[in-house]
Amino acid sequence: MRSLRLASTLLLCAPIVATPARAHAQSGQPLASSAAADSSHHRLPLFTRTGPLIIGAFAVGAAAISPLDRAIAREIREPSAQNDRTASRAASALNFAGSKGVVIAGLATYGVGRLGHFAHVADLGLHTTEALFVSAGVTSIIKGLAGRQRPGIAGIDDSDDFRFGGGFGKHASTSFPSGHATASFAFATLVTLETHHWKPSSTWYVAPLMFGGAAMVGVARLYSNAHWTSDVVMGAGVGTFTAYEVYRYNHITSRHNRLNRWLLSAVPSVSPEVNGGAMLGWSFAAPR
């Protein structure tokens, strides 16, 4: 019954998950031909095969693991695990990293890149931040529709509490999917894709580092009794999928979109003030 209800929720939310693809996924063309695509009025395909395969694989994984949600929750909530101070501190740090931490990292990377005139770094910071906000928006809508109770509220034995639309309102049920997992996997995906774009050989060490860290954020959410395992798996899927679409939009489909022209062509400047301080200014180029 749990698997059937979770599968129904996944099917219901599938059109919402596909929203970034409608906004961003316009082409499966290689980078070499993207400039021509930008100047063409040809209507490009809505999806490539990769996006649906990504979200589909994670959705299947979430449905498959859902019968184990209760057992995994009980195991993690054992006193022997919860009384481990090192694990508790690590979970707190990872919970921060998977929420405010990744946003701070994205914005700081963009700022450093613009101030230091490091084009690749600014590109990474901007697109990472964009992926975080897009994926957060998608996850918020799915949470509202799914209306799944969190384990800390519902009780460890009630992992099957889905209420359509229950994620909206005063007493929101917002367990499915995990927002922290969404953010951490969106961050990991974008960093991996961007660094591969600069230097393909970097993927073999960047990908394990990024996705390993993202997975640890997911484990921290389970340890903190904030999510069921299937919440984390689906959150990982939403983050990976939306970040992939954001990357493809910015580097393949529409490299010269307005956001890139506005924020990657902005000229930062630092001017001294009379009192000995300094003022940071930005000069933006208006998009055509």
With beta carbons less than 8 A apart as the criterion, state whether 168 and 144 touch. yes
Model pTM? 0.81
Treating both helix axes as pointing N-terminal to C-terminal, what angle do 50-65 and 2-17 enclose, rounded to 10 degrees? 160
**Token pair 């073999």: residue:** 204
Contact 45, 267 (CB under 8 A): no
User: In terms of Cα–Cα distance, which of 180, 179, 184, 175 is closest to 156?
Assistant: 175
Fold classification of 2-27+46-255 is Vanadium-containing Chloroperoxidase; domain 1 (1.20.144)
Instruction: Please give, one letter per residue, the 3-state secondary structure of 21-65.
Output: HHHHCCCCCCHHHHHHHHCCCCCCCCCCCHHHHHHHHHHHHHHHH
Other CB atoms within 10 Å distance of the CB of residue 265: 14
Q: Structural domain boundaries of the chain?
A: 2-27+46-255, 257-288
Write down the H helix ranges in the chain. 2-17, 19-24, 34-38, 50-65, 69-76, 79-82, 85-96, 102-115, 119-146, 151-154, 179-198, 203-223, 229-248, 258-263
> What pLDDT shows up at residue 256?
80
Give the Cα separation of 38 and 20 in Å (integer).
19
Give the HSE-up count for residue 247: Cα atoms under 13 Å, Cβ half-sphere: 23
Residue count of the chain = 288
Q: Alpha-carbon distance 183 to 128, whole Å?
A: 10
Each residue's pLDDT expressed in tens, for the chain with a length of 288 residues: 454 455 445 444 444 454 444 444 343 443 333 344 444 445 455 457 888 899 999 999 999 999 999 999 999 888 988 889 999 999 999 999 999 999 999 999 999 999 998 999 999 999 999 999 999 999 999 999 999 999 988 777 788 999 999 999 877 899 999 999 999 999 999 999 999 999 999 999 999 999 999 999 999 999 999 999 999 999 999 999 999 999 999 988 887 888 888 888 756 555 666 566 656 555 555 444
